[in-house]
Structure 1
């Protein structure tokens, strides 16, 4: 016997015990003789238990039948229990035949009301089940797509209405999951296309220059050194791309494990700025910082610095010569907030939601200037979110602003 069946049986016995107790208390309240009370309770209890057992067996055998049949069975069992108790009590207490007929008249009328209510309840349950079933069938389209329509108004018990709401909620979650899957698949295809292009160009250059060196096509020192420098530069570019792909795969596969340490974010940003200053100087881009009040945070130093490096590199590359990149701390409660503002001229509003997507490069101007596979911002978002933070982007006057929010460390 399962635990659930045992609880059901215990509940039924408890209800029967409570009913007998109430009946006994009612008889005592009206000054019935103790002997009559004992006879009435015993006879009614035994007769009702036998009739209830018969009804329970019938209901168990009919539990796979429609709800209307089961509710009618319950009503019939209830009437049978009542009739059995009345008849046995009447015989035990020597009630007159006239009084017994009166009891049966009342019992028949009550039975008609009970059967009518049971029929209506069974019909409501059946109709509600049909509505839920019809809704479930419309959730999945012929192409396998999920439709998250609003749950229908179910005419039936609250359990069926709750089931319809659960189905609607599951449908919404499935539809959202399908949207994310389609977006990831689109990003994957775009990534494969971009990476294939970015691998092909430097590999072709390396191969051509290596063959030229091997075949002795070039032999003057200046050209040989230039070829060697080009090969080394393309090899470093390929190494960086492979590193980005590896980091992104760790983020997306869920195997990224971050060790936490208390890091002074002012120092971390200063280190990132020191690394980016050379690129900014070569391009003629000024970098202005204002980091006063930036609190420490519990982060993995290497991964946090890499996320900041990517954001700064992105801002410098898309800021034209003579422009300025601003790095500023923003006051916030229980968080470390950093704004990185560039002078890229802004991002089209339609592209803003996709800025952090894998391999997204935006318009033609950005694509021509983009190095690597377009993975930097995607990696930054993954690393920041792995720390429990967020990164967002919005257009400002003359450029766009990236906002990094990290949970502040204890003991601010």
Structure 2
């Protein structure tokens, strides 16, 4: 008897399951509510078919048989009804979630739908919230870069026109014979050479900045000692400091090695030191300090620029920022790209760069992770 019941129930279940899978395959593009209803109907039908078949085959007859069949039918209807209610709730929650997504405009953020959602839909809602947050941050970065690009174009256009106009005037004077005494000719030639060097440096900075913004900056990191990087940077700017009448000092304690591209990191440090020299008055001091703890190396450059207005501090590393209100540029000024390049290089090393007002000037600080002693 048990084997007969098992065989009948299994056979009917397999037939109904096959029919259910076929129906689900046909409805795979329909609402999830319809698919849930089909699943519930298949489950209930398989159960009812087995019970009905066994009831009919068994010796139960008359009123008891009718009672059993009635209970089975009512139970099946209740199961299907509950499945349909659950399906409607799932469909309603899905519709609410879709409505919240469709309500998002380019100028608005995603607002999660009110009320509770099923766990899976709640997970999707949180994922959508995070995705829209990343999109918003991306749009803000894009707007910031576009603003920086426009400002850069304005600055560079001005800085290109000024030396080009001067060189054109000197070249025309030399060609027309307006200037013919040897001393003035030598001075004109020397000035043209200086302006050409300035333009060459500006083009180099623009190329470097474009690589950073495009994510094309290729580093060749290796274990390096920051003391050597500092020494090389100070040696490279010593002539500029002497010409400006600014004293350069360096202070360094025992520092663990860092994993970095020595050439690019040295360029970032030189940009900071050159910036400090340019904005420190004659007979002032620029101090480079190097300290470290177990996990972080801190490289700071302190100058005597007189400080930066608090409102300008967040913009110091923006492209083409010069802070004219606090820092009057001199004839040796750059294109305002040095600090932006320094930030890009430091961040490419997974470090951080910041600036604060301190004493008679300000202090720029680079933070880099030190190498694991075990590596």
Q: Is this a same-fold pair by TM over 0.5?
A: yes
Deviation at 1:186, TM superposition (A): 0.8
Would you say the 8 A contact 2:48–2:76 is kept in 1? no
Aligned positions of 1:338-353 closer than 5 A: 338-353=299-314
Q: Are 2:176 and 1:211 aligned?
A: no
Q: Are 2:3 and 1:48 aligned?
A: no
Aligned positions of 1:230-249 closer than 5 A: 230-249=191-210
Would you say the 8 A contact 1:71–1:122 is kept in 2? yes
Q: Are 2:345 and 1:383 aligned?
A: yes
Distance 2:153 2:50 in 1: 80
> What 5-or-longer segments of structure 1 have no aligned partner?
1-35
Distance 2:16 2:347 in 1: 65
- Say what the alpha-carbon RMSD is for the aligned residues: 2.2
Would you say the 8 A contact 1:351–1:362 is kept in 2? yes
Residues 12-69 of structure 1 show CA distances to partners (whole Å, capped at 9, x for unaligned) of: xxxxxxxxxxxxxxxxxxxxxxxx1100100111112222333333343344444444
The alignment's TM-score, normalised by the length of structure 1, stands at 0.84
Q: Are 2:363 and 1:401 aligned?
A: yes
Would you say the 8 A contact 1:276–1:312 is kept in 2? yes
Shift in alpha-carbon separation, 1:74–1:100, aligned structure 2, 3 A = farther
Shift in alpha-carbon separation, 1:271–1:60, aligned structure 2, 3 A = closer
The alignment partner of 2:169 has SS state of helix
> What 5-or-longer segments of structure 2 have no aligned partner?
none
Give the equivalent residue in structure 1 for 2:79. 114
The alignment partner of 2:10 has SS state of helix
Among 132, 137, 157, the residue aligned to 2:97: 132
Give the equivalent residue in structure 1 for 2:23. 58
Shift in alpha-carbon separation, 1:59–1:286, aligned structure 2, 3 A = same
Distance 2:28 2:70 in 1: 31
Aligned residues: 373
Q: Which runs of 4+ in 1 moved over 6 A?
A: none
Q: Are 2:186 and 1:225 aligned?
A: yes
Give the equivalent residue in structure 2 for 1:8. none
Among 40, 46, 57, the residue aligned to 1:81: 46
Distance 1:68 1:382 in 2: 51
The alignment partner of 2:88 has SS state of helix
Among 246, 252, 256, the residue aligned to 1:295: 256
Would you say the 8 A contact 2:307–2:326 is kept in 1? no
The alignment partner of 2:323 has SS state of coil
Give the equivalent residue in structure 1 for 2:37. 72
Aligned positions of 1:5-404 closer than 5 A: 36-139=1-104, 141=105, 144-145=106-107, 147-153=108-114, 155-366=116-327, 368-369=329-330, 371-404=333-366
Distance 2:51 2:321 in 1: 81
The alignment partner of 1:364 has SS state of coil
> Of Structure 1 and Structure 2, which has the larger fraction of its residues in helix?
1
Distance 2:280 2:297 in 1: 25
Distance 1:88 1:385 in 2: 74
Residues 323-344 of structure 1 show CA distances to partners (whole Å, capped at 9, x for unaligned) of: 3222112232233211111222
